[in-house]
């Protein structure tokens, strides 16, 4: 695509939402101010994927912006006004309008001393990457591109308007954003960007865990997360953000002597992504599944043992890995449910390998389903993705075996509704039969009956009562006489 065609395409995409942009530009022009579509909105327009959420910049100061948009906007919010940003909603679109910025950073935190600028060129220079440092003057539909962002976009190169050392010193989060854009857009970082990231990786420690988590999640949810992760690991950034992932390069995978566990895990991530839409073609990216795929083997370095004869073992790496995954995700301030779900998937991912050629009893199948609970569809995908052998016959055999397990699960679920496995007697019946008040013994009896249910399948009512009385006698509980 040549430059003229790219600009024409961007203007065409802009005209798709022009009634809204033109209305807003007209309001600012009438008030004596310029308005520009800027940053990611211009980049996405050039890529043909402009969303309803648009970013604008203007020479108007924040208080003046408020005066201009009030009465026109459906809604206005001022949460970012200290940083020069006014938020607006209009006909289902979300617009952010920010005064030109010329910030100065203390280079200790990432918090700038907010300074308003007077030119679009000065505003664009302070932006993170050249592909985000383009603007469209809405009054003339002309491009403003002082840092050759259009050329970088065409070449799919990620570079900075200022030197990367200057840019990353101002805001180290931009290093993670570089990895995120690589994952989202499939771009290649310029050599000088990679060099600066490598030299300055430790500066990411200045950034709060919450902001780091946001960028890591966006990276993982991108189209090419492997590329973003490889950039983080190769530059040393992962050593500060996801050290367990970088640490997997030290462990040799016992099934794939030609790969380390790190490369195996990236392959599992890619294969899990390929399976995401297997059951639901309209499903979006699954953060929990992707985190579990990336982290499923992080326990291997800590459990690696060299066996006599040259073998390598990783006994109980799923147990150690689940603890490590939960600890890392807590450090990154992920929501509690995400932490628990990922930890449980890591804990369960190896259990299928005990299935052999179908030796599991129905009891073992029930436990597999019950322990997975609502995570079962994700566990199916994770286990299938974990097969990365290049031996086609072995891979096909593993997939057939898992097909058989899923078929057995479906049959038992149809007969017993495994999603709602509960004891054959509820708590009220247990208390009545044993003459117990509410308390811990009722819970222990309930748990015992559930274990029987998993082992033997449904019990009829009389059999369940007999088993409960047998348990009571063995545990010193004297039930009322029949």
Residues 420-441: tens digit of each pLDDT = 566 667 778 888 888 888 888 8
Please tell me which of 118-122, 256-260, 275-279, 415-419 the model is most confident about, judged by mean pLDDT: 118-122
- Of all residues in the chain, what percent carry a pLDDT higher than 90? 51
DSSP string across 32-89: T--EEEETHHHHHHHTT---SEEEEEESS-HHHHHHHHTTTSSEEE-TTGGGTEEEEE
The answer on pLDDT for 400 being more than 80 is yes
Question: What CATH number is associated with residue 19?
Answer: 3.30.460.10
Domain range enclosing 82: 3-155
Looking up tokens 């919450």 gives 210
| Confidence category of residue 419, pLDDT binned at 50, 70, 90 | low
| pLDDT reported for residue 256 | 46
| pLDDT reported for residue 233 | 97
Domain assignment present for 481: no
Identify whether residues 379 and 264 lie together within a single domain: yes
Mean pLDDT across the chain: 87
Instruction: Give pLDDT tens digits for 123-169.
Output: 999 899 999 999 999 988 888 999 999 999 999 999 999 999 999 99
| Confidence category of residue 370, pLDDT binned at 50, 70, 90 | confident
Which of 117-126, 315-324, 386-395, 461-470 has the lowest average pLDDT?
Answer: 461-470
Q: Which two tokens stand for residue 445?
A: 């009896």
| pLDDT reported for residue 258 | 41
| pLDDT reported for residue 7 | 63
- Structure-derived torsion over alpha carbons of residues 192, 237, 262, 329, reported in degrees to the nearest 10: -150
Query: How many domains is the chain built from?
Result: 4
Question: Cβ of 409: how many Cβ atoms within 10 Å?
Answer: 18
| Confidence category of residue 10, pLDDT binned at 50, 70, 90 | low
Domain assignment present for 272: yes
The answer on pLDDT for 109 being more than 90 is no
Identify whether residues 197 and 322 lie together within a single domain: no
Q: Compare 466 and 40 and report the one with higher pLDDT.
A: 40
Strands 35-38 and 157-158: unpaired
Identify whether residues 415 and 320 lie together within a single domain: yes
Instruction: Give pLDDT tens digits for 256-293.
Output: 444 589 999 999 999 999 999 887 778 889 999 999 99
**Separate counts of helices (H) and strands (E) for the chain:** 24, 13
Of 106, 136, 155, which closes a domain? 155
| pLDDT reported for residue 467 | 81
Contact predicate 245/298, CB 8 Å:
yes
**97: Cβ–Cβ under 8 A, 6 or more apart, which residues?**
24, 35, 56, 57, 58, 65, 69, 85, 86, 87, 88
Of 241, 260, 283, which closes a domain? 241
Domain assignment present for 482: no
| pLDDT reported for residue 364 | 85
Identify whether residues 126 and 39 lie together within a single domain: yes
Question: Cβ of 279: how many Cβ atoms within 10 Å?
Answer: 10
Please compute the mean of the pLDDT values over residues 86-103 and round it to a whole number: 90
Domain assignment present for 267: yes
Of 241, 258, 282, which closes a domain? 241
| pLDDT reported for residue 315 | 72
Identify whether residues 414 and 429 lie together within a single domain: no
Instruction: Give pLDDT tens digits for 217-255.
Output: 999 999 999 999 999 999 999 999 999 999 998 655 444
Contact predicate 213/221, CB 8 Å:
no
Distance CA 427, CA 400 (A): 41
Q: What DSSP designation does 252 have?
A: B
| pLDDT reported for residue 156 | 95
pTM, whole model, 2 decimals? Answer: 0.81
Q: Compare 414 and 339 and report the one with higher pLDDT.
A: 339
| Confidence category of residue 477, pLDDT binned at 50, 70, 90 | confident
Strands 157-158 and 188-189: parallel
Identify whether residues 31 and 91 lie together within a single domain: yes
Distance CA 184, CA 219 (A): 7
Identify whether residues 444 and 325 lie together within a single domain: no
The answer on pLDDT for 3 being more than 70 is no
């Amino acid at each position: 695509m040549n430059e003229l065609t790219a600009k024409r395409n961007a203007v065409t995409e802009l005209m798709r939402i022009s009634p809204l942009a033109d209305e807003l530009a007209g309001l600012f022009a009438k008030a004596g101010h310029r308005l520009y579509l800027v940053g990611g909105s211009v980049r996405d327009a050039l890529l043909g994927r402009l969303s309803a959420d648009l970013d604008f910049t203007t020479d108007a100061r924040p208080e003046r912006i408020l005066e201009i948009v009030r009465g026109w906007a459906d809604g206005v919010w001022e949460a970012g006004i200290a940083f020069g940003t006014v938020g607006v909603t209009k006909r289902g679109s979300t617009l952010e309008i920010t005064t030109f910025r010329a910030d100065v950073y203390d280079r200790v935190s990432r918090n700038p001393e907010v300074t308003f600028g007077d030119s679009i060129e000065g505003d664009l220079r302070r932006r993170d990457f050249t592909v985000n440092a383009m603007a469209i003057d809405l009054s003339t539909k002309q491009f403003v591109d002082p840092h050759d962002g259009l050329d970088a976009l065409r070449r799919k190169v990620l570079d900075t308007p200022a030197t990367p050392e200057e840019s990353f010193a101002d805001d180290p989060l931009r290093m993670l954003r570089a990895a995120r854009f690589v994952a989202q857009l499939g771009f290649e970082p310029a050599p000088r960007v990679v060099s600066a990231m490598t030299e300055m990786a430790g500066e990411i420690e200045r950034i709060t865990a919450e902001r780091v988590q946001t960028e890591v999640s966006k990276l993982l949810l991108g189209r090419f997360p492997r590329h973003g992760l490889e950039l983080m690991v190769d530059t040393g950034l992962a050593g500060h953000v996801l050290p367990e992932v970088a640490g997997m390069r030290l462990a040799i995978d016992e099934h794939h002597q030609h790969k380390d566990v790190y490369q195996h895990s990236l392959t599992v991530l890619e294969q899990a992504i390929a399976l995401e839409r297997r059951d639901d073609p309209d499903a979006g990216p699954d953060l929990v599944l992707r985190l579990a795929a990336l982290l499923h083997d992080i326990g291997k370095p800590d459990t690696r043992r060299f066996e006599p004869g040259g073998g390598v073992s990783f006994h109980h790496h799923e147990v150690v890995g689940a603890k490590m995954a939960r600890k890392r995700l807590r450090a990154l301030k992920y929501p509690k449910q995400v932490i628990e779900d990922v930890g449980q998937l890591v804990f369960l991912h190896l259990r299928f390998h005990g299935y052999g050629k179908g030796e599991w009893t129905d009891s073992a199948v029930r436990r597999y389903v019950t322990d997975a609970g609502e995570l079962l569809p994700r566990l199916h995908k994770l286990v299938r993705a974990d097969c990365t052998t290049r031996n086609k016959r072995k891979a096909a055999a593993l997939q057939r075996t898992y097909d058989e397990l899923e078929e057995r699960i479906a049959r038992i679920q149809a007969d017993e509704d495994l999603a709602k496995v509960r004891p054959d007697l509820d708590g009220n019946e247990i208390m009545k039969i044993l003459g117990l008040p509410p308390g811990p013994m009722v819970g222990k009896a309930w748990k015992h009956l559930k274990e029987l249910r998993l082992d033997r399948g449904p019990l009829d009512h009389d059999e369940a009562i007999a088993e409960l009385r047998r348990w009571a006698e063995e545990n010193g509980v004297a039930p009322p006489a029949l």
